[in-house]
Structure 1
Amino acid sequence: MKKFNTITGEELLSKEVREIPFIIKDLIPIGLTLLAGSAKVGKSWLALWLSIAVAKGEAVWGYETTRCTTLYLCYEDNEIRIQNRLLEITDEAPNNVHFCTEVSKLGGELETRIRNFIAEHQDTKLIIIDTLQTIRSPNTESTYSNDYSDLTILKKLADEYKIAILLIHHFRKQKDGDVFNQITGSTGLQGAVDTMFTLSQSKRGEKTATLSCVGRDIESRELELERSEDNIWIKLSDSLSESNLKDLSFIKAVEIFMCDKDSYIGNATELSTLLNQISDDDFSNKSISKNIKRLSKSFEKLGILGFARRSNGKRIIEIVRIGDDSADQKRVS
């Protein structure tokens, strides 16, 4: 008999929280990411730089990367142009970044070549396809069904091999108050991907641009970027800075709270009240359990372990100090 394989909410909450794997920390997770923008805005320059940085394991705008083999399918370029651009952005290209200008179409040949490449280079974690239009049949209509079906092929590949696929796409000419509505095609594109980026300028030809980011596994944010003389996009600001400060505030509050305790056991509401007496920030009881798990690595560096579990049918939070005297030297500044 066919039936649904389900998991209860209680079982799910009791499971250990596993971190989402990222190729670029907090920015590009495993899965399918769409990067869209106007023609000549600098999407391909950005894609090229990302392929090099990730292959080298270099930080991108301060975010850690997973060093791996990268594949850039630059289907709108040729080898001469890629070579010239490489010479502008780097003095040394590693041997684990690969380029291909020979176009393969979606629906068979492209997927086969991706599978074969991964088989030969098993540490591949980032594949960039530039652009979506080059891999589609010229007769494909941009309906919701077609858009969703085409991108689902790439999404399944990314999930199967646990890699990130970055798909470059274009804006339509019509302006819109919501920059994501300017993406060419139906909303089927947006429905099929895990993460979406748009690279937009208020005026064509400007050196600055805004990278707007939304997704299932990332915090929504806007990065203000500036294009350098060697065509590398440099980060000027990040709208998530305030969010990062609140994380530090939460870590600091827990650290101060535990400074005279070996352990604490209570529920989220009780802990929220106690932490709010210490910090100027307001920590809701709904966020306490999530933050304790999400920021576990930061707490471990301070000699603190936090757990959210069930006991006698009730959900409780337990915090334990495990460090020695040296933990006092690791306080959050």
Structure 2
Amino acid sequence: MGILFKDLMQKVFPTAIWVVEKLITNGLTLVLGASKIGKSWFVLQLAIDIDNGSHFLGELAVQKLGIIYFALEDTEARIQRRLTKLGIVVFNDAWLETTWEKEIIKLKTYLQDKPKYKVVIIDTLQKFAKISDLNAYGEVVKALGLLKSIADELGIAIIAIHHTRKGVESGTGDWMDGGLGSMGINGTADCTITLTRKRESSEGFLRATGRDIEDIHWALNWDKKLCIWTKTGNAPKNKLLSVDQQIIIDILQQSAPESLETSDIAKKAGKSEQNTINILKRMGNMGFVTKTSRGLWSANKLTNSLSLGENELVNLALIGDKIPVVTIGNNENTNQGAK
């Protein structure tokens, strides 16, 4: 059943709920990440901030809303210990569930009986949806489709945690292809958020893309002692590169000022020509490489970043060819070197 454009423009739709500014609105959001990097702490922190209407990750405005947290891999005792560790003693209407034995479709009736709750966090998707094979496209799409339809019909936000496959934590491959059963996930979710953090490191990154948000790549800090995530700024541009993309950038930079044919790049990188073409096209869209009129590839000048500490970066950029401009932290002053 369709509708005329002129009639469509006369309809009044509910205003979108911005649960977290710039990041999460109503609909279905997936939070992806490797095991034991702090995903559950991330969404517990999110649940607390939504319940209190405080700032998520230390700076993002959050709308105070009723929140239901399905902590299906935890017990009430563990959640109590975590809340105590976080120092949270004042709550509003946040609701906890540690089991869910019903079919997904029953969530709609469950939520209709709790109309003040506008945000649902599910930890994890596999436990809640009882998906037997997360790489089975049809099974994943069916489960996510049901969750999305419930979110859309009720005008709420559903946020589900899911595990990434091996390799995403280390940066290999495309981060959007990181979720188990990712083809079904990326095609169904309204927003996909990926958390990455190397083992024993406090430095993490959040990447997000979606239908209602701008693409995001933020640097995060994981405080192991306090078990809190904070946003430390925008990630340096070269951190956007996967391992495969960095290999190709290195090849192109080493050949500069000469440009290279795709076949030469593929041979040096030890990859198939078709795979190399796909990587180059994606990097071109990101602004890292340029294809000349003769079909040759060259690397664009990039901003290099050196870490001086948790909250201090030195960014080096070239103005023209000879004048280095150094920016420390958020200081807007620049020091120009000799020409």
The 5 A counterparts of 1:198-237 are 198-201=194-197, 203-228=198-223, 229-237=225-233
Change (3 A) 1:32 1:144: same
Matched-pair contact (CA < 8 Å) for 2:134–2:181: no
Matched-pair contact (CA < 8 Å) for 2:205–2:235: no
CA deviation map 1:37-88 (0-9, x unaligned): 0000100001101001101111224222221110110001111111111011
Change (3 A) 1:125 1:173: same
Is it true that 1:151 corresponds to 2:144 in the alignment?
yes
Instruction: Find the residue that maps to 1:199 and give its secondary structure.
Output: strand
Give me the whole-angstrom Cα distance separating, in 1, the residues matched to 2:130 and 2:194.
Answer: 24
Matched-pair contact (CA < 8 Å) for 2:134–2:180: no
Give me the whole-angstrom Cα distance separating, in 2, the residues matched to 1:133 and 1:18.
Answer: 31
Change (3 A) 1:220 1:186: closer
| 1:99 alignment partner in structure 2 | 96
Give me the whole-angstrom Cα distance separating, in 1, the residues matched to 2:12 and 2:132.
Answer: 47
Instruction: Find the residue that maps to 1:172 and give its secondary structure.
Output: coil
Give me the whole-angstrom Cα distance separating, in 1, the residues matched to 2:54 and 2:109.
Answer: 26
Give me the whole-angstrom Cα distance separating, in 2, the residues matched to 1:42 and 1:33.
Answer: 17
Matched-pair contact (CA < 8 Å) for 1:128–1:165: yes
Percent identity of the aligned residues?
A: 31
Change (3 A) 1:141 1:230: closer
Structure 1 residue 141: Cα displacement: 5.8
Instruction: Find the residue that maps to 1:196 and give its secondary structure.
Output: strand
Give me the whole-angstrom Cα distance separating, in 1, the residues matched to 2:14 and 2:88.
Answer: 38
| 2:4 alignment partner in structure 1 | 6
Give me the whole-angstrom Cα distance separating, in 1, the residues matched to 2:108 and 2:71.
Answer: 14
Higher relative contact order (CA 8 A, sep 6+): 1
User: TM-score, normalised to structure 1's length?
Assistant: 0.64
The 5 A counterparts of 1:268-279 are none
Please tell me the residue identity of whatever aligns with 2:153.
E
| Aligned with residue 72 of structure 2, among 54, 72, 75 | 75
| 1:44 alignment partner in structure 2 | 40
Is it true that 1:35 corresponds to 2:31 in the alignment?
yes
CA deviation map 1:99-130 (0-9, x unaligned): 1111335xx3x44245324423x221110000
Give the helix-richer structure, 1 or 2.
1
| 1:185 alignment partner in structure 2 | 181
Change (3 A) 1:231 1:118: farther
| Aligned with residue 115 of structure 1, among 109, 112, 132 | 109
Please tell me the residue identity of whatever aligns with 2:220.
L
Change (3 A) 1:26 1:186: closer
CA deviation map 1:192-251 (0-9, x unaligned): 0000000002x21211210101100001111211112211101100359xxxxxxxxxxx
Change (3 A) 1:16 1:100: closer
Instruction: Find the residue that maps to 2:64 and give its secondary structure.
Output: coil
Structure 1 residue 18: Cα displacement: 8.6
Matched-pair contact (CA < 8 Å) for 2:50–2:63: yes
Please tell me the residue identity of whatever aligns with 1:205.
E
Change (3 A) 1:68 1:15: closer
Structure 1 residue 155: Cα displacement: 0.3
| 1:307 alignment partner in structure 2 | none
| Aligned with residue 61 of structure 2, among 47, 51, 64 | 64
Unaligned runs of 5+ in 2: 237-339
Give me the whole-angstrom Cα distance separating, in 2, the residues matched to 1:130 and 1:77.
Answer: 9
Please tell me the residue identity of whatever aligns with 1:212.
R
Give me the whole-angstrom Cα distance separating, in 1, the residues matched to 2:191 and 2:217.
Answer: 13
Structure 1 residue 26: Cα displacement: 1.5
Please tell me the residue identity of whatever aligns with 1:4.
G
Instruction: Find the residue that maps to 1:230 and give its secondary structure.
Output: coil
Change (3 A) 1:237 1:19: farther
Give me the whole-angstrom Cα distance separating, in 2, the residues matched to 1:180 and 1:98.
Answer: 31
| Aligned with residue 21 of structure 1, among 17, 22, 33 | 17
Change (3 A) 1:209 1:116: same
| 1:89 alignment partner in structure 2 | 86
Give me the whole-angstrom Cα distance separating, in 2, the residues matched to 1:159 and 1:15.
Answer: 17
Give me the whole-angstrom Cα distance separating, in 2, the residues matched to 1:114 and 1:163.
Answer: 11
CA-based RMSD of the aligned residues comes to 2.6
Structure 1 residue 93: Cα displacement: 3.8
Is it true that 1:197 corresponds to 2:193 in the alignment?
yes
| 1:317 alignment partner in structure 2 | none
Instruction: Find the residue that maps to 1:47 and give its secondary structure.
Output: helix
